[in-house]
Amino acid sequence: MPASSPLARVAGASPVRLAVNRGFHAYARRRTRKLAWADPVEVQRRGLLRLVRAARSTRFGVDHGFESIRSVADFQSRVPIRTYEALWDAYLKGHYPRFDDLTWPGRIPYLALTSGTTQGATKYIPVSWEMVASNRKAAKTMVAYHLASRPKSQLFRGKVFFLGGSTNLERPAEGVRQGDLSGIAAEEAGELLRPYTFPPLDLALETDWDRKLGLLAERSVREPITLIGGVPSWLLALFGRMLDLTGKSTIAEVWPGLELVVHGGVKFDPYRSSFDAILGDPKIRLQETYPCSEGFIAFGDPDTGLLRLVYDHGLFFEFVPVDELDSPAPTRHWLGNVQAGVNYAIVVSTCAGLWSHVIGDTVRFESTDPPLLTFTGRTKYTLSAFGEHLISEEVEGAIALASRATGAAVREWHVGPVFHGALGHHQYVVEFLREPDDLASFRLALDADLSRRNADYLAHRAEGVGLPLPALVVARPGGFDAWMRSKGKLGGQHKVPRMDNTGTLTAQMVGMLRESGLVDRELAEGGA
């Protein structure tokens, strides 16, 4: 084995790295044992009261009577559910960028910038020092469960690679920095962790995403990477460049020590076959995570494959049935009375001063003890322009099935309506990593699986009633990247919006792809 190879560098890890690896295994045993004995309901109840006590003297705490809150019921009666926009207008907007004692004590040191979709206005999500610690604790918990499931893991004998956005943070005011959440995490990683992480600071600061991706590929092939994390579509783009550079056929050949691929941000099912093929080693574990700018929600449980809620790191969770979210007085559940099998919108109160905050995601509990759930989509990611009531979980699952049935691998996709007066059709935009055996068969399989999953869709697909077979636009490789670049949202944690119920975004996307010559072929609506 050449001494300069990544595997040699992992196998020949220094005594310090060996000690760090043993230390994390010891931590993993303690952490998982503690959570196995904990009562999630009681932990959440006490956690909420600690948050309330901490913020009782802030402007928000005074306005909402935090001093007299003694229970979850007290809290829910005093603090209404709010969107980010409502909190921004009422408490934050007039004080930006200095959020001092407004919704959380002290000055908020970091603001995570996010827009949610390519069309949304920028949001400034508060990140307190307590939230920095919260995110770190949740990440360590995720790693602890991985190590507990693999007692012989050598994770910390190599390097951890997070494929994030630029770590270049702006300074809008004294004591305040803002930018991508991954940049905040890198800023707080500290010098002690630097030898265990990639990329180096100079490369992490690069703001040109195309250039950055190329440099990351060039430099990372020489590193002993044991863990890599990022958004699935960008991970696949990086892996493709690495294979082109090295002439290797799989990532396992490039990084022989790789044991964990952490992914999040989108539903993973449509990507699974592509990752299995490009990684090339079934022992490399695919680890789902569910972080967001507001806080770390959950991670993939090694034993069940479901998302395990992290309930003891400074976030209090509420769950509102999706169909009640817009009602004047929605039912507010928490771990004390949540039910399995219901599609809920997540509402969080955090150690950064978000209170009963609707984050825009939906989940379904598969188990309440322990709290295990499935990510089902976004509150705004629904497709019901014609009464068909599709949610993103259903479309994600149908695309994954159609891919398996036709030998395809999908890199990116989007769907929205095209209107013909009161009626119309759905239009899918798809970029393939591997083309289906037959494009028409892909569309038929997609349509058939949606009909199986959703009775409303099936009813609207009945002949003579309304919806014809959906239209299908196949984008050339790089088509979605070009569209994201045109919106100034290429790379890092930015994600393609999956569903557009208005059709406006879909029309813009298809128009841009056609004008730029980035449409490979199309199937019009209807047909067989």
pLDDT bucket at 421, cuts 50 / 70 / 90: low
Q: What does the pLDDT read at residue 416?
A: 92
Bond prior to 97 in cis (omega within 30° of 0): yes
Residue 90 φ then ψ, to 5°: -80, -35
Helices and strands, number each (H, E), in the chain: 18, 21
Query: How many Cβ atoms sit within 10 Å of the Cβ of residue 326?
Result: 10
Asked if 135 and 110 touch (Cβ cutoff 8 Å), the reply is no
- In-domain check, residue 240: yes
pLDDT, tens digit, for every residue of 13-40?
A: 678 888 888 999 999 999 999 999 999 9
- Note the helical H segments in 426-503: 439-453, 455-461, 479-486
**Same domain membership, residue 387 and residue 352:** no
Q: What does the pLDDT read at residue 456?
A: 78
Instruction: List beta partners, residue 296.
Output: 291
Question: Residue 463 pLDDT more than 90?
Answer: no
**Tokens standing for residue 191:** 């010098």
Residue with tokens 């494929």: 163
CATH number for the domain that contains residue 246: 3.40.50
Quick one: average pLDDT of 399-414? 93
Phi-psi map region of 225: left, alpha, beta (phi>0 left; psi -120 to 50 alpha): beta
**Same domain membership, residue 479 and residue 363:** no
**Same domain membership, residue 401 and residue 366:** no
pLDDT, tens digit, for every residue of 363-383?
A: 999 999 999 999 887 776 678
Residue 478 belongs to domain spanning: 382-523
Question: Residue 109 pLDDT more than 50?
Answer: yes
Query: How many Cβ atoms sit within 10 Å of the Cβ of residue 135?
Result: 20
Question: Residue 11 pLDDT more than 50?
Answer: no
Which of 378, 405, 427 is the endpoint of a domain? Answer: 378
Quick one: average pLDDT of 500-512? 90
**Same domain membership, residue 297 and residue 161:** yes
pTM: 0.79
Which of 333, 357, 378 is the endpoint of a domain? Answer: 378
C-alpha dihedral (454, 457, 461, 466), degrees to nearest 10: 170
Percent of the chain with pLDDT over 70: 93
Please name which of 239, 259, 258 lies closest in space to residue 250, comparing C-alpha atoms.
239
Q: What does the pLDDT read at residue 135?
A: 94
Q: What's the total number of domains in the chain?
A: 2
Q: Mind giving me the DSSP string for 499-519?
A: B-SSSHHHHHHHHHHHHTT-E
Question: Residue 197 pLDDT more than 80?
Answer: yes
**Same domain membership, residue 293 and residue 395:** no
**Which has the higher per-residue pLDDT, 339 or 390?**
339
**Same domain membership, residue 372 and residue 387:** no
**Same domain membership, residue 353 and residue 235:** yes
**Same domain membership, residue 368 and residue 287:** yes
CATH number for the domain that contains residue 477: 3.30.300
- In-domain check, residue 286: yes
- In-domain check, residue 263: yes
Q: What does the pLDDT read at residue 179?
A: 87
Q: What does the pLDDT read at residue 49?
A: 98
pLDDT, tens digit, for every residue of 50-99?
A: 999 999 999 999 999 999 999 999 999 999 999 999 999 999 999 999 99
Question: Residue 493 pLDDT more than 70?
Answer: no
pLDDT, tens digit, for every residue of 243-300?
A: 999 999 999 999 999 999 999 877 787 788 889 999 999 999 999 999 889 999 999 9
**Same domain membership, residue 438 and residue 354:** no
Q: What does the pLDDT read at residue 76?
A: 98
pLDDT bucket at 388, cuts 50 / 70 / 90: confident
Which of 378, 398, 429 is the endpoint of a domain? Answer: 378
Please name which of 182, 242, 176 lies closest in space to residue 207, comparing C-alpha atoms.
182
- In-domain check, residue 217: yes
SS3 letters for 88-139? Answer: HHHHHHHHCCCCECCCCCCECCEEEEECCCCCCCCEEEEECHHHHHHHHHHH
Q: Which of 167-171, 286-290, 444-448 has the lowest mean pLDDT?
A: 167-171
Length of the chain: 528
Q: DSSP code of 82?
A: B
**Same domain membership, residue 368 and residue 481:** no
Question: Residue 440 pLDDT more than 80?
Answer: yes
